[in-house]
Structure 1
Amino acid sequence: MQIRDAEDRDLEGITAIYNDAVAHTTAIWNETTVGIDNRRAWLADRQAAGYPVLVAISAQGEVLGYASFGDWRAWEGYRHTVEHSVYVQGDQRGAGIGKALMTALIDRARAAGKHVMVAGIEAGNIGSIRLHERLGFEQAGLLRHVGTKFGRWLDLAFLQLTLDERSPADRSTGA
């Protein structure tokens, strides 16, 4: 398996993984699947903002999973904090792909001078919560009944990872 930056040739696989999560899981709180043009625009937006989109690629060139991060909130005071997402093909979960993607994504966030990485995870997704905890994320809060999917209310668990110990005074204003 190889972890690398996503390219246009990966969009079909990224779209399939995204749509599978929409249709079958509570990992994405949308109920409408998207077309490849939607994911193309999403990838272009991430790249234009300077944020990574990483893919895990099998030896045969198949997209097994993807991960990215972006702004936590739009206001300037949050510029050192990012929120991420990571998705793995349904039949590949538990095989270490999510961990490999997350490890590379955390390295990218540190290299970009970010201070905190936030995870918003459906509270019943114990596998994802445990993966994040093994990577050093700590529970930061729980919002009850803030979403709905499949005819039920969903709780949102927040976890966070402090990426460095520098103070805001130690950072350049552009990071």
Structure 2
Amino acid sequence: MTVTIRDASLADLSVIASIYADAVLTGTASYEIVAPDETEMKKRFQSVTSQGYPYIAAVDESGDVLGYAYASAFRTRPAYRWLVEDSIYLAPAARGKGIGRLLLAELVARCEALGFRQMVAVIGGASPASIAVHQACGFRMVGTLTGTGFKLGQWLDTVFMQIALGDGNASEPDPESYPGTLFAG
């Protein structure tokens, strides 16, 4: 199967909403309990993309969306503006085929090119598959919060992983190079 990574679009949102709904209803990666509808997913998509963050999709040779990923602000206080958080979701049939790694590698590259300095993964349910994907892309473990969520009849841990982008914290960022609009004056 040939997989292409491209910018996600509004036309992809029905599939993206379906992929996310499956994650919400059957998995522990998201701590949401009720799956948002397509209208809400459109609002979220527009919020992320209007602030200059990348939002990408993995598609097969027929153009079907297999998964998606995006970066967004980790926190909204100005000193955090060089740090992004990644999110990756795959259709059930696309899991275990290296598509998550392709999405994450592209997301890391795009965020680095935009001038971000750090990326963090907040891995709900301490998913071994998600941890492995992040490790394969160079992330390191930085902490675990135990018993942070209760879903599907169990207490869940949250794992934090991190990767430096570009110079990371080895040099001061250029305030003029910040790519997003969230912190624009």
TM score, norm. by length of structure 1: 0.95
Aligned-partner SS, 1:102: helix
Q: Which residue of 2 aligns with 1:99?
A: 101
Match among 10, 13, 20 for residue 8 of structure 1: 10
Return the letter of the residue paired with 2:43. A
Unaligned runs of 5+ in 1: none
**How many residue pairs get matched?**
175
**In structure 2, distance between residues paired with 1:156 and 1:146:** 6
Q: Which residue of 1 aligns with 2:81?
A: 79
**In structure 1, distance between residues paired with 2:31 and 2:140:** 22
> CA separation of 1:77/1:124 partners in 2, compared to 1, >3 Å: closer, same or farther?
closer
Give 1:112 shift. 1.1
Give 1:166 shift. 5.3
Aligned-CA RMSD value? 1.3
**In structure 2, distance between residues paired with 1:153 and 1:15:** 26
**In structure 2, distance between residues paired with 1:136 and 1:167:** 16
Return the letter of the residue paired with 1:31. I
> CA separation of 1:65/1:166 partners in 2, compared to 1, >3 Å: closer, same or farther?
closer
Written as runs of structure 1 = structure 2, the 5 A alignment for 1:87-126 is 87-126=89-128
**In structure 2, distance between residues paired with 1:166 and 1:147:** 31
TM score, norm. by length of structure 2: 0.90
Instruction: Note if 1:67 corresponds to 2:69.
Output: yes
Identity of aligned residues (%): 35
Q: Which residue of 1 aligns with 2:130?
A: 128
